[in-house]
Amino acid sequence: MQTKTDFVIEFSGWITIDAPEVKFVNSETGMIISGDEYLLLDEEGQGNHYLESLSDCLQGANDGAYEQIDIETRNA
């Protein structure tokens, strides 16, 4: 039987992206809002949302830098 191999990628860094390009998901309703709408929420409202897609943010970023990227493999 063939063993499945996963990549484990650990990273840290930062990006800048325009607010309209960022999407957040409401953890209770699943409703998606833009970064502009997120900024209008109070602290509690923002706490009820999470980033929809880090990969979309990375692709739409205006600037950024990685401090660290470590890649290893793991057999599942």
- Token pair for residue 70? 């470590």
Instruction: Note the residue count of the chain.
Output: 76
The tens place of each residue's pLDDT in the chain, 76 residues long, gives 778 899 999 999 999 999 999 999 999 999 999 999 999 999 999 999 999 999 999 999 999 999 999 999 998 7
The structure tokens 């109070």 sit at: 42
pTM: 0.79
